[in-house]
Chains A and B, each alone.
Chain A
């Protein structure tokens, strides 16, 4: 049995479907990447699994149980959803903001327990946010905010982590650190991860399986090696590429072939 089984899902907005007949499974403890061009329906799929969007057709099973039947708070104890965080957050401190992730585990009036505080501190450390506790989230940089939002998701102590472009605003140091963290949580702590990525090379390096979406449908899925091929990428993205292999990890590596830099510029100064 898989942790998540998406079966023939059709979903969209105002009766217009954006994604159609999507079927795939996410095995336990795997990192599954969703890639595809803009407008392919990645975020719509993400929001359907996160249950803010009702599917028009099909169903999603979580441990064999219909996702729609799971009470909201119980869902939030099992699944953490890290949305793309665009809007300006209210002026909470980092600690207050992250502690909201403990909500599904606490009663209405119960204050933060010692355990809650330990979990919060531990996750702030994991994301190298120690010392940020009293800073205002409204005054953080985009990359810092993104890590704070991820920390909020991790303190939910989920089994499944859904992330929509979690590395978009991160510099290369934090990109690698965040993905390393997520990968090790999956392999060591048993977290299952479903992650939307734009960077094909990061998807190739970190994901056990990759799902490629195009035009609201599943184009192909499988291991990075079998899916991230020149033919597939050129067909989905309409961009010429060359695909090689990383000499150490043997994971696929995609080289883009921009028009600029092919002739005169290449000779350099």
Chain B
């Protein structure tokens, strides 16, 4: 398919999802009121609060988190040369969960909780990348270290569950499923910190193209594979850490979106990364909107939606795709 066309279609998808998210949600208001509130940002009243303090920040967060997870998924799949790789493969989610569960246990919430969670992410990134750097950043070492750290952290989380009260366990589990419903105040600032790193990823398209051939081959083509890998793995892991800290562990976006987009654009990262960002952002905004209206007035964790939709899509995609296109 023509790449410009794919880009345009996905851009329209993102904007349409954002519009849908603006007009529908947990609370129903007539479209006219929402439009009025949108163009009079100073206006008081329910519509103004709803649009400017709830829906727009939420759409923005969902869009950035979705884009970031999808872009990081592309990065991890290219570098690790593994179609199953995703942003959580290096154990970022394990450290994040532990941080979040500890925060919940201590009764900490809001921005401090996000920061403790992010610290947990950084801890696992540090251990995994540190261990792998001792072995020349080989892919098998990275993947193994990531899996081991995930297991270690989730064992500690299980231990905490075993001794914690059921209320704490329940709110921890809800957090672990991922939700955009209550991004802590100040979270936008954290997102803005991750944004430059995320927006730098498209500029590494060629490095990713080369790295996807394998370290040795990319070396022969003039790439300093180790340096490029270090920057990209560190950058993508930190972005993922910010996403985890703000919205929990949102399943499947980072795994499914890159595969779906690759089916449309091909493997060239010059189009794969920007298109995945658009698709991931649009998909998460849409999923988040669905999570608010399916069992209204209650809200589902968005991870439930992304997991179900993503899982179904993936099965269909895998059954339809020719073997050569899957990897």
Residues of chain A at the chain B interface (Cβ within 8 Å) = 47, 50-52, 72-73, 75-77, 80-81, 83, 85, 87-93, 96, 100-101, 103-104, 108-109, 136, 138-139, 152, 156
Contact = CB atoms under 8 A, between A and B. Distances in A.
A90 B267 contact: yes
B322 to A, nearest CB: 8
Contacts of B206: 100, 103, 108
B212 A73 contact: no
Contacts of A136: 266, 324-325
B223 A103 contact: yes
B39 interface: no
Nearest to B322: A139
B220 A100 contact: no
B220 A76 contact: yes
Given A136-B324, A136-B325, A90 B212 contact: yes
Interface of B: 78, 81, 203, 206, 209-210, 212-214, 216-217, 219-224, 262, 266-268, 322, 324-325, 327
Contacts of A87: 81, 214
B74 to A, nearest CB: 11
B216 A72 contact: no
B153 to A, nearest CB: 31
B220 A80 contact: yes
Instruction: Give chain A's interface secondary structure class.
Output: mixed
Given A47-B216, A80-B220, A139-B324, 15 more contacts: A50-B220, A75-B222, A76-B222, A90-B78, A90-B213, A92-B268, A96-B266, A96-B267, A100-B221, A104-B221, A108-B203, A136-B266, A138-B324, A138-B327, A152-B221
A116 to B, nearest CB: 13
A76 B217 CA distance: 11
Closest 9 CB pairs of A and B: A76-B222, A104-B222, A139-B324, A81-B220, A73-B222, A138-B324, A90-B212, A90-B267, A91-B267
Contacts of A75: 222
Contacts of A96: 209, 266-268
B200 to A, nearest CB: 12
B222 A109 contact: no
29 contacts: A50-B219, A51-B219, A52-B220, A72-B222, A72-B223, A75-B222, A76-B220, A87-B81, A89-B213, A90-B78, A90-B81, A90-B212, A90-B327, A91-B267, A91-B324, A92-B267, A96-B209, A96-B266, A100-B210, A100-B213, A103-B221, A103-B222, A103-B223, A104-B221, A108-B203, A109-B203, A136-B325, A138-B325, A152-B221
A175 B136 CA distance: 36
A96 B268 CA distance: 7
Contact of A93 (B213, B221, B266): B266
A91 B262 contact: yes
Contacts of B262: 91
Contacts of A83: 216-217, 220
